[in-house]
Structure 1
Amino acid sequence: MATEENVPIYAEIQRDVERKIMSGAWPPGHRVPSEAELVAQYGCSRMTANKAMSNLAASGMIVRRRRSGSFVGPPRVQEPLLRIQDIRAEILATGRSHRFKILRRNTRIASTQEDAAHVGVPVGTPILTLEIIHYADDEHFAVENRQINLAVVPEAAEESFKTIPPGTWLLQNVPWTEAEHAIRALPADRVTSQRLKIPFGDVCLSIARRTWKADRLVTFVRIIYPGDRHRFVARFTPSSSL
């Protein structure tokens, strides 16, 4: 059984619980409804409720205690701000399966100064552009728009990316020396709402990242997540620079 957005019931349960936790409505230590209560609330099977709870426990969002029930877990460090996240590894770490689909792929030349400056390459640079949708189980997890500098990574032009997503492939095959993140919230436009199966105007988290090898750009990527499905947390001390 699935919702009208074709989202499985277990994913709907998981999303609802995550929203309440991440919004602060359910603080750490708050008791989470039992599987029996979820079955009654969502009209689903015990197996479906168990799958949702198991995924939440695997991700650290909740803690399951025998005879006591399930509770919101302690605040956790997910993806540090100074680390390049691998979407595939990020999803697998939550106990969910990962798959992806390349929606668009083409090779072009950065022909204008404005275009070249946006990507961060010289005019005349050959670029491989890809648009990708990532799924966690059957949930639309993130949209990735990536541009790879073929002057630095020419082998990417021949890579099919049929079994491994471009971000994972780059991390495994191309060493990098410097990166920058630009993070902001933005409303879902028509295309994004269709890609992620969320309402038009819903808040999304946009992460734009450039990665360099020495002083040459390797890739520029923008990843857009539904706002309630991702967060960055960094732990630091009073001695950290302001």
Structure 2
Amino acid sequence: MAETQPDAVKLDGAGPVYDQIRRAIRDLVVSGAWPPGTGVPPEHALMEQLGASRMTVHRALVQLAREGLIVRRRRSGTIVASPPASHAMLDILSIPEEVEQLGQAYSYDVLARGDGRPAAEVAERFGLRRSDKVAHLLVLHRADGKPHVLEERVIHVAAVPGVAGEDFAKTPPGDWLLQHSLWSQAEHAISAVGAQAEEAGLLAIAVGEPCLLVERRTWNQDRPVTAVRLLYPGPRHRFVGRFGPYGQI
């Protein structure tokens, strides 16, 4: 288990001390400076480094554990948590897992790719600046050999520089991003649309057939990571989320 140094935790002086500690550790986790499995400094070390009381440090760590960013273990200490693997309605979906959960065989093809500054229509569709450098991909995912979902995605090269050398021959873009990038915020929308001619041809459905359009954008802090449009043939799919008064369960 990798160890961290308490002096990496820097307070910004804004607001209650426990919340400054929480934000400082959260930023180290989200930025990747403290990757999953990294040992978080013990309470006494943070108390000494930051000049904070035990109660203040304890409160910050308890909140981070509630947010799922760290795991506290009585004997082995506190570590940075791994990203959750669940895939409920508003989670970041792994399409291969989605298909496999249906008991079907997954496959995919990268139909098109363009790297560089986006074309005007792509910039408008995804809310990009024309100066942004992106990888623009069109991917068809299949279940048992039949079209399952059509994915159109842009990946910001500045946030994910490794995308320039990746051909996605072995791993589809969404799953590759889950393995090679970090995100701290996501915006997620679902709407009903009719299939356009090109989309209908790729999905093997009639023009105008109802589809579910899932649109998602993710950021790491204030830096955009990716934006994606997932087009599902409507009659074949539904999204289910189970939740309670404190969120999804």
The C-alpha deviation readout for 1:187-221, integer Å capped at 9, x for no partner, is 11111110000111110000010011111110000
AA partner of residue 95 (structure 2): I
Unaligned 5+ residue runs, structure 2?
1-85
Match of 2:104 in 1: 96
Match of 2:166 in 1: 159
Q: Does 1:108 align with 2:108?
A: no
State the percentage of identical aligned residues: 40
Are the structure 2 counterparts of residues 115 and 139 from structure 1 closer, same or farther at C-alpha, using a change threshold of 3 Å? closer
Mapped partners of 2:166, 2:208: distance in 1: 35
What is the CA-CA distance between 1:236 and the residue it aligns to?
2.9
RMSD (CA atoms)? 2.2
Are the structure 2 counterparts of residues 95 and 187 from structure 1 closer, same or farther at C-alpha, using a change threshold of 3 Å? same
With CA pairs under 8 Å and 6+ residues apart, which has the higher RCO, 1 or 2?
Answer: 1
Matches within 5 A, 1:57-72: none
Unaligned 5+ residue runs, structure 1?
1-77
Are the structure 2 counterparts of residues 200 and 111 from structure 1 closer, same or farther at C-alpha, using a change threshold of 3 Å? closer
TM-score by length of 1: 0.62
Q: Does 1:187 align with 2:194?
A: yes
Q: Does 1:147 align with 2:154?
A: yes
Aligned residues: 162
Mapped partners of 2:104, 2:140: distance in 1: 16
Are the structure 2 counterparts of residues 96 and 123 from structure 1 closer, same or farther at C-alpha, using a change threshold of 3 Å? same
AA partner of residue 102 (structure 2): T
Q: Does 1:196 align with 2:207?
A: no
Match of 1:231 in 2: 238
Are the structure 2 counterparts of residues 79 and 203 from structure 1 closer, same or farther at C-alpha, using a change threshold of 3 Å? farther
> Any conservation in 2 of the 1:120–1:217 contact (CA below 8 Å)?
no
Match of 1:84 in 2: 92
Mapped partners of 2:167, 2:226: distance in 1: 17
Secondary structure at 2:235's aligned position in 1? Answer: coil
Mapped partners of 2:196, 2:179: distance in 1: 33
Match of 1:134 among 141, 146, 158: 141
What is the CA-CA distance between 1:123 and the residue it aligns to?
4.4
Secondary structure at 1:83's aligned position in 2? Answer: coil
Match of 2:42 in 1: none
What is the CA-CA distance between 1:238 and the residue it aligns to?
5.6
Are the structure 2 counterparts of residues 116 and 216 from structure 1 closer, same or farther at C-alpha, using a change threshold of 3 Å? farther
Secondary structure at 1:101's aligned position in 2? Answer: strand
Match of 1:174 in 2: 181
> Any conservation in 2 of the 1:79–1:233 contact (CA below 8 Å)?
no
Secondary structure at 2:243's aligned position in 1? Answer: coil
